[in-house]
Structure 1
Amino acid sequence: MSDVKMYNLINGNFIVTSGNTEIHTILGSCVSVCLWDPLTRVAGMNHFMVPGTPDAINGNPNQGYFSIHVLVNSMLKRGCSILNIEAKIFGGSNSLTPNIQYAIGTRNAAVADMLLVQYGIKILARHTGGHHGRKVIFNTATGKVKMKLLSNV
């Protein structure tokens, strides 16, 4: 029986691993992208707060454009192929404002969708939007994700 490592992912960070790890994070308007390559068994996950801008490929890891770019490139450096990488997207709630113009969660999720499509990465699942936060647990050995909606307290 192998030991499972636990890792708590906070905003502005990402992890790429081939180890048997459970990555935990809590999301409100933030978004996490979980990537998994079933052939190499390499997995990665990020956690970003704001969408950022398309020219932010050398910037702030709290911004989606930069965070996703770094996550994907880290997977590729570990020997993954874009053709094999699978994605799951979580988060992006809009609990603070009903106004779509300021709905940072919706904008975060849209950036994740758009960039993954541009990279040619298959999006297998998504659970985004709404008005509740989420707890996400990503099992990097299997590529499976457990997600729980959090109620307003």
Structure 2
Amino acid sequence: MSFNADVSRFAKRIHVNQGEHFASGDPEVCLTAILGSCVAICLYDPAAKVGGMNHFLLPENPDSVQAHGRYGAYLAELLINDLMSLGAIKSRLEAKVFGGGKMFQGLRDVGATNAAFAKKFLMDEGIPVLGGSTEGTSARRVEFWPTTGRAFQKFVSQDMPPPPPPKPILETSIGDVELF
């Protein structure tokens, strides 16, 4: 079956934004993320047919006093816990890791740090990384099907033209209601 035909049957596309995670056992769900220097860890339990994705900005909170959704260590733990509540067994989890691009030349390579953290975290947790794509200089769009563990990635070209400017907002006043 071709990719496009397979995708059309997924009625529930859920975008996982930065600082979020999502776990599901619904066969109609497809999780998506757009990643630059951020990283997404996709986890899947093939026996329980559940999986999920997180999307983090930085590896760990240097303060380590307050957990926060932008940090990989926190989101990875939340994702694992949510998967276990859906019936996953940690020793059966498999991972795919995406993102960690170097988006700006001349600055610290946050993306490589994120990718290295994700791989080390998974190794320390005993979760094998079976695939993915990290680092490089392009952003990527990732799609992950949590009940099958299937993932698809498309690089976002830096040569793409910028989006058109927004249309001007017209103000109109009708009685006491102002419409923009």
Alignment correspondent of 1:43? 51
Q: 1:31 aligns with which of 29, 39, 43?
A: 39
Q: Distance in 2 between matches of 1:71 and 1:47?
A: 10
Identity %: 33
**Structure exhibiting the larger radius of gyration computed from Cα positions:** 2
CA–CA separation in structure 2 for the residues paired with 1:48 and 1:3 = 25
Match of 2:111 in 1: 105
Aligned length in residues: 150
Q: Give me the whole-angstrom Cα distance separating, in 1, the residues matched to 2:24 and 2:112.
A: 28
CA offsets per residue over residues 96-148 of structure 1, 9 Å max, x none? 1355xx11101111111011111100110120000000000111232100101
Q: TM-score, normalised by structure 1?
A: 0.90
Task: Tell me which residue corresponds to 2:120.
Answer: 114
- State the alpha-carbon separation in 2 of the partners of residues 55 and 73 from structure 1: 23
What aligned pairs does 1:83-102 form with structure 2 within 5 A after superposition? 83-98=91-106, 102=108
Using the size of structure 2 for normalisation, the TM-score is 0.77
Structure 1 residue aligned with 2:75: 67
Question: Residue type matched to 2:117 in 1?
Answer: V
Change (3 A) 1:151 1:3: closer
Deviation at 1:75, TM superposition (A): 1.5
Does the aligned pair in 2 maintain the 1:58–1:66 contact within 8 Å?
no
2:154 partner letter: K
Higher relative contact order (CA 8 A, sep 6+): 1
1:123 maps to 129
The answer for the alignment partner of 2:167 in structure 1 is none
Q: Alpha-carbon deviations, 1:66-102, whole Å to 9, x = none?
A: 1111111221222211221110000000021355xx1
Structure 1 alignment gaps of length 5 or more: none
CA RMSD across the alignment: 1.8
Equivalent residue in structure 2 for 1:17, among 15, 21, 24:
24
Q: CA deviation at 1:15?
A: 0.3
Q: Determine whether 1:8 maps to 2:15.
A: yes
Which segments of 5 or more consecutive residues in structure 2 lack a partner in the other structure? 1-8, 161-180
Compared with structure 1, are the counterparts of its residues 56 and 79 closer, same or farther at alpha carbon in structure 2 (3 Å cutoff)? Answer: farther
CA change 1:71–1:54 in 2 (3 A) is: farther
